[in-house]
Structure 1
Amino acid sequence: MIRILLLLAVGVASWPLWPPPWRTGLLLGWSLALALELSLFALRRGAAARSGFRPLLQVQVFGFLLKLVVLTLGGVLGARTGWYHHPSFLLAFVAGIVAGEAVALTALLRARPLRSRLRRGDERGSPSA
Structure 2
Amino acid sequence: MKVFSSLAAATALLATPAAAHEFRDYFAHGRTELSPAGYRMVRSVAAYARTGRPTRILIDAHMDTAEAAEFSDELSRRRAQAVASELVILGVDPAPIVVQGRGASAPARPTPPNTAEPLNRRVTVGIYF
Q: TM-score, normalised by structure 1?
A: 0.32
Larger Rg: 1
**Larger RCO (alpha carbons 8 Å, 6+ apart):** 2
Structure with the largest fraction of strand: 2
Q: TM-score, normalised by structure 2?
A: 0.32
